[in-house]
Amino acid sequence: MTVIESVDRDLPAADPPRRRPGMVLRTLLAAAGGAALFFAFPGWDLSFLAVLGPAALSLATRGVRFRAGLWLGLVHGLAFFVPLLSWTGIYVGSFPWLALSVTEALYVALLGGALAVTARLRGWPLWAAALWVGDEALRGRWPLGGFPWGRLGFSQAEGPFTAFAAYGGVALVSFAVALTGTLLAAAGLALARAWRDSSAAERRTRSLRAAALAVVGTLAVPVVGTAAALPLAGGSLTEGGPTRTVAVVQGNVPRAGLDFNAQRRAVLDNHVSETQALAVQVAAGEVAQPDLVIWPENSSDIDPYLNDDAAAAIDRAAQAIGAPILVGAVVSGPGRFISNTAIVWDPETGPGETYVKRHPVPLAEYVPARSFFRFFSDKVDLVRADFRAGTEIGTLDMAGTTVGDVICFEVAYDGLVRDVVDGGATMIVVQTNNATFGFSDESPQQLAMGRLRAVEFGRSVVMASTSGISAVIAPDGSLVRSSDLFTPATFVEDIAQRDGTTVAARVGVWPEVALTVLGLGAFLAVVAGGIRTRRAAR
């Protein structure tokens, strides 16, 4: 706080009017910041560029009014989300992709307006970073449960900011990235002022001192993050608790695209065949006998409760491998609905405990207000039956092991993952199906989320995909095993079952709440001050 206050004390509230950059230059700067943020995410993996997003938007919005801030935030958001979410339109056309991108960018527009309002406050880098967290908190919850894809923290699966996840979750990682960026912006402003004041020695000295302090702050955040990693769990899968031998099966699909499940039996047979092939390797002593086997989401889109052939096929696989299989199935009911369900399938007793996906994806797994959205695109009718949300937390007993299951996009939602850890999960499983997104960046983006969750909760994470990327992730977020896209793969690893809790697991949502209140409070303080000033002038 001292560094931030010292920096801001020596900076002008805004550049003199004759020196202010024009809106064209500001717009280009905002767009460049959004592009830099995109390149920080998986697919490009230039994670160090993430700090340039908050830095650029802070500089672009400094010295403008709220409405101009809205525009600059929108430009920044579009430059980021349009390329980041391009995978959403691969098989359904550009309208859903652009509609989602614009919707997400509108939240960044609000952020841009808020940054413009709070830019004159002393300590503005702190308030700006907190506003980033608050904006992400809103975007990840509303409407229809929100869409938290593209949070700053999700760009940091490895690097000096990653360890913050163990102390305050993804929100604290986002805050650290944003604070580094805003302090970098403050350093730039101080240097610019020193250049302008080169003929005034005293003012130039103050500006250089402010720049030096801002640079120290900019470097301090990642240094603290690096140090924070030292006491955390390391990259060993087998340390920290009793081990279980876990097999991950990626059976692959006949083809990529929305019609991958037109050959539902082929997908099921692929997973059965891969499991039977694994059983042969076990019998030959080539790999260890697994205690449990993880199949992905949609590994059986044929309801095994209603279809005897599907049930018999899963039975054969479970009996061959001699271990329970976590099957991802589409199950009929309740009523007119269907359910995205994980089923623990025992080799002796058949189907047992289940978990039903708690957060079906709007407009992909169910269509709210179908007639309204059909007006914009008839692609909504590709969702022929709506998935019903489950109500129970995804903790499942598999061979005496408490597995915490989340399905596909649920890994992006803090509360859903936290719930399974609070429920006693000793390892986290992510069942997913990426076939509908082809050879895109969706899979590595989702994998990065799994890696960050491993650090956040100090658990190993197993990701099983129908078509890739399947992976085994150590508690420090490092990749132990990973598959290629659209390639059959099987992993067998001994994984320690951990029951410790990180600081992030203990404090839960409160760091995000505190940072959101901090940013919102700064914004409201400026608004209230403006109202009082106008009233006094009357």
Using an 8 Å Cβ cutoff, are 271 and 251 in contact? yes
Compute, in degrees rounded to 10, the torsion defined by CA atoms 8, 52, 26, 12.
10
Compute, in degrees rounded to 10, the torsion defined by CA atoms 113, 118, 124, 125.
-10
Dihedral over Cα of 402, 406, 411, 414: its sign: negative
Calculate ∠ Cα 154-120-55, nearest 5°.
Answer: 30
DSSP string across 64-93:
S-HHHHHHHHHHHHHHHHHHHTGGGGTTT-
Instruction: Reduce the secondary structure of 384-398 to three states and give it as a string.
Output: CCCECCCCCCCEEEE
CA gap 380, 386 in Å, rounded? 11
DSSP string across 376-442:
T-GGGGG--SPBPPP-S--EEEETTEEEEEEEGGGGG-HHHHHHHHHTT-SEEEEEE--GGG-SSTH
Nearest Cα to Cα of residue 292 among 451, 403, 392: 403
**Residue 204 host element (H or E):** helix 201-228
The DSSP letter of residue 21 is: P
Using an 8 Å Cβ cutoff, are 301 and 261 in contact? yes
Q: Which of 136, 365, 408, 493 is catalytic?
A: 408
Using an 8 Å Cβ cutoff, are 294 and 463 in contact? no
Q: Which of 136, 297, 353, 365 is catalytic?
A: 297
CA gap 236, 247 in Å, rounded? 17
> Does 365 participate in catalysis according to the annotation?
no
Q: Which of 104, 357, 365, 456 is catalytic?
A: 357
> Does 297 participate in catalysis according to the annotation?
yes
Dihedral over Cα of 103, 105, 108, 109: its sign: negative
- Would you name the residues annotated as active-site residues? 297, 357, 408
